[in-house]
Amino acid sequence: MTKILLAEDEQDIRDLLTFTLTFGGYEVEARKNGAEVVESVAEVKPDIIML
């Protein structure tokens, strides 16, 4: 399964994108901002990073 690391500061948009991408068959890890994404990259090991 393709793993996506998502950065979005707006909670509603983050939730919508997470739901939509999960429904589409992706594994999604969502973060509030780019700084949190940078901290998470080594742990999550995503295939795609969406900012």
pLDDT in tens, 2-18: 999 999 999 999 999 99
pLDDT in tens, 17-36: 999 999 999 999 999 998 99
Task: Return the CATH number of the domain spanning residue range 3-50.
Answer: 3.40.50.2300
Q: Is the CB of residue 25 less than 8 Å from the CB of residue 1?
A: yes
Q: What is the pLDDT of residue 19?
A: 99
The whole-angstrom separation of Cα 42 and Cα 11 is: 24
Domain ranges of the chain: 3-50
